[in-house]
Amino acid sequence: MKKTIVSRQNHPLFRQVYDHILNRIDRGEWSAHTKLPSIRLLADEINVHRLTVFKAYRGLTDDGKVYVKDKSGYFVSEDSVYSKKTQKDKVVSTYAVSNSLADIHRIPAKYQFSQALIDPNLLPNIYLSEYVKKVFDLYPKVMGTYASIQGDEELRGSLSEHFRENHHLQLSSDELLITSGAQQAISMIAQVMLGPMDTVMVERPTYSSALDIFRRQGARLIPVSITPEGYNLDEVETLMHTHKPRMFYMNPTHHNPTGYTVPAWQRKLLVELAERYNCLLVEDDPFRDIYFDKPPPLPLFAYDTEGWVIYINSFSKYIAPGLRICAVACRYPFMEQLIKAKSLADNGTPLLNQKIFLHYYTSQRLQQHLEKLRIALQVHKEIMEEELSLAGWEWRAPEGGLNLWVKLPRNISSEALFRMSIGQSISFVPGEIFDPLGELRSWIRLSYSFANEILLREGMQRLTALSRTF
Ligand SMILES: Cc1ncc(COP(=O)(O)O)c(C=O)c1O
């Protein structure tokens, strides 16, 4: 694993600039026969040496992607946008709006192990419907007004209290922003923080939609290994020192896809590293409350006194994915920038959703629901584990979350298994989707949270039987 990371870091900078220019052409920023920015302008914009841009332009010229006209500069050749004209959708979907995970989720399957979502029968839908009525009685004008851009004041007040009491986060309601899901939060943070060619540290593997968002921003990704013991802090420090990343996007608690949790002692040190190297830590924490035996360590945000952590806590997973409620905690001045981004995105998350969520969240029912849910999910996990161990597959039992990160037997590639299993209406996510380097082909993510117990056992038996045919 180490070797690949090293080789990617050694990928010459001019080649990364070459790819960056092609990506911008793909996105339609520069069309055929458009003059490209001068070497000086582009070098200043993406913060690299002029010689690097010169080498990238020369490579593109040699490959016929760009041509030189007299002495007036570099122009986009017909050739590099040819594919766009003939296969427009393909180009757009592979770069500008790519979301590989969503593509997999669109494939219908009876045995659904690809969605890291909870079976809707285990979620509090019935209670939520009661709160809909209550909310309309309490706030008759709820549909006739906009929410505040930052989020409903009452909800932010309750959440800041909850975070203080339960997670030791010292927060005022002004330091919270409500977004429409964690996905919107990641996207807004990327818009605010990242320019073309900025570097972002990401775990390897990691939540793939975040990778797609960072790629869309034109960022360079620097992978950091995550293991059952957390990160290698020497590696983290070296990468921060060498690449000066703008941020490190992390999911350190019941991590998606691996289920690993970064230990408490590393959390404090990571915040110190972030301060030392001016690297923002974006802590994505949607699985914190889904644990089996004991609660996980405190969020990194709890150790942050200087404002280097942005904390994203979505409630999509265990309350209601359909409400799209997520809380983002951060200090000023980042908060100001995020509020501006939120106003451009949608002018505020729907007030009705926030009020329904608030009334459920502050009720006794939430705790009762969580206690039952943890037991149900543990049963699901154990069914999946039983079938895996009968088949001799390898995984590390997670302490929470919704997924198992499974190493396939030596002779099986995730891609081949995926093709066969889709034919049998079984879905899972191949490991390479989560890999910033697009490798990890002997790993798959199996979610145990969506299929009911009967389908879970049946589907796992079919999947492991399929693997025996290799
Ligand atoms: C790590 C991680 N972040 C963010 C999300 C998206 O969450 P939301 O539904 O709140 O947008 C997911 C969903 O699977 C996730 O696993």
- C-alpha of residue 280 to centroid of ligand 1, in Å: 19
Query: Structure tokens of 109?
Result: 């399957």
Instruction: Using a pLDDT cut of 90, give the percent of the chain over it.
Output: 76
Average pLDDT along the chain:
90
Ligand 1 atom nearest 251 alpha carbon: 1
- Give the residue ranges of DSSP H helices in 181-316: 181-193, 208-216, 233-243, 264-276
User: From atom 2 of ligand 1, which residue's Cα is the shortest distance away?
Assistant: 207
Measured from the Cα of 317, ligand 1's closest atom is: 9
Q: Which of 23, 19, 6 is nearest to 224 (CA)?
A: 6
- CATH placement of domain 100-121+366-467: 3.90.1150.10
Residue 56: predicted pLDDT:
94
- Does pLDDT of 26 surpass 80? no
Question: Mapping DSSP to helix (H, G, I), strand (E, B) and coil, where does residue 337 land?
Answer: helix
Type of residue at 362? T
Determine the atom of ligand 1 nearest the C-alpha atom of 314: 10
Find the mean pLDDT for residues 130-144: 91
- What integer is the mean pLDDT of 378-401? 96
229 CA distance to ligand 1 middle (Å): 23
Per-residue pLDDT reduced to its tens digit, 295-342: 999 999 999 999 999 999 999 999 999 999 999 999 999 999 999 999
Ligand 1: distance of its center to the CA of 120 in Å?
A: 16
Mutate to test the pocket of ligand 1, among 212, 254, 256 (most ligand atoms within 8 A of CB): 256
- pLDDT above 90: residue 382: yes
Class of 13-94 in CATH: mainly alpha
**Cα-to-centroid distance, 326 and ligand 1 (Å):** 10
* CB 189 within 8 Å of CB 309: no
Domain 125-363 has CATH 3.40.50.150: no
* Cα 166 to middle of ligand 1, angstroms: 21
- The pTM for the full model equals 0.84
Choose the residue to mutate in 206, 255, 317, 402 for probing ligand 1, maximizing ligand atoms within 8 Å of C-beta.
317
User: pLDDT higher for 470 or 231?
Assistant: 231
The ligand 1 atom at the shortest distance from the C-alpha of residue 183 is 11
Please tell me the distance from the alpha carbon of residue 152 to that of residue 217, in angstroms, as a whole number. Answer: 29
CA distance 334 to 281: 12
Residue of the nearest CA to atom 10 in ligand 1?
Answer: 181
Nearest CA to ligand 1 atom 4: 182
- Identify the pLDDT of residue 86: 39
What pLDDT is recorded for position 129? 87
- Tell which phi-psi region holds residue 347, choosing left (phi > 0), alpha (psi between -120 and 50) or beta: left
Distance 207 CA to ligand 1 centre (A): 8
Q: Tell whether the model's pLDDT for residue 203 goes beyond 60.
A: yes
Q: DSSP letter at 400?
A: B
- Cβ distance 227 to 2 under 8 Å? no
**Å from CA of 259 to ligand 1 middle:** 14
The predicted pLDDT at position 290 comes to 97
Q: What is the share, in percent, of the chain residues with pLDDT greater than 70?
A: 93
Return the domain boundaries, the chain: 13-94, 100-121+366-467, 125-363
User: For ligand 1, atom 14, which residue shows the shortest CA distance?
Assistant: 116
Residue 113 CA to ligand 1 center (angstroms) comes to 16
Nearest CA to ligand 1 atom 13: 116
Whole-number Å distance, alpha carbon 34 to ligand 1 midpoint, is 39
Q: Which atom of ligand 1 is nearest to the CA of 116?
A: 14
d(CA 219, CA 409): 35
Task: State in Å: Cα 286 to ligand 1 middle.
Answer: 7
- The residue whose C-alpha atom lies closest to atom 7 belonging to ligand 1 is 182
Structure tokens at 458: 């049946």
pLDDT at 454 > cutoff 90: yes
Phi, psi of 113, rounded to the nearest 5 degrees: -115, 10
The pick from 179, 316, 429, 433 for probing ligand 1's pocket by mutation, whose C-beta has the most ligand atoms within 8 angstroms, reads: 316
Q: What is the pLDDT of residue 11?
A: 61
> Averaged over 357-370, what is the pLDDT?
94
Q: How many helices (H) and strands (E) does the chain have?
A: 18, 15
- The Å distance, Cα 210 to ligand 1 centre, comes to 9
Instruction: Name which of 85-89, 109-113, 180-184, 222-226 the model is least confident about.
Output: 85-89
* pLDDT for residue 282: 98
Name, in order, each residue with C-beta under 8 angstroms of 151's C-beta and a sequence gap of 6 or more.
176, 177, 178, 179, 327, 348, 349, 354
Among 208, 314, 323, 405, say which to mutate for ligand 1: greatest number of ligand atoms within 8 Å of CB.
314
> pLDDT-derived band of residue 99, with 50, 70 and 90 as boundaries?
low
Torsion of CA 139, 145, 151, 156, to 10 degrees: -20
Q: Beta 326-329 vs 403-407: how paired, if at all? A: unpaired
Residue 403 in tokens: 């997924």
For residues 64 and 79, is the Cβ–Cβ distance under 8 A?
yes
- Mean pLDDT over 100-124 rounds to 90
Mutate to test the pocket of ligand 1, among 101, 188, 189, 207 (most ligand atoms within 8 A of CB): 207
Q: Which two tokens stand for residue 359?
A: 């009334």
Q: How far is the CA of 56 from the centre of ligand 1 (A)?
A: 36
Is the pLDDT at 5 greater than 70? The verdict is: no
For ligand 1, the distance from its centroid to the CA atom of residue 289, given in whole angstroms, is: 14
Structural tokens at position 143: 């549909």
Q: 281 pairs with which residues across the strands? A: 248, 309
- Ligand 1 pocket residues where CB is under 6 Å: 116, 181-183, 207, 251, 256, 284, 286, 314, 316, 321, 326
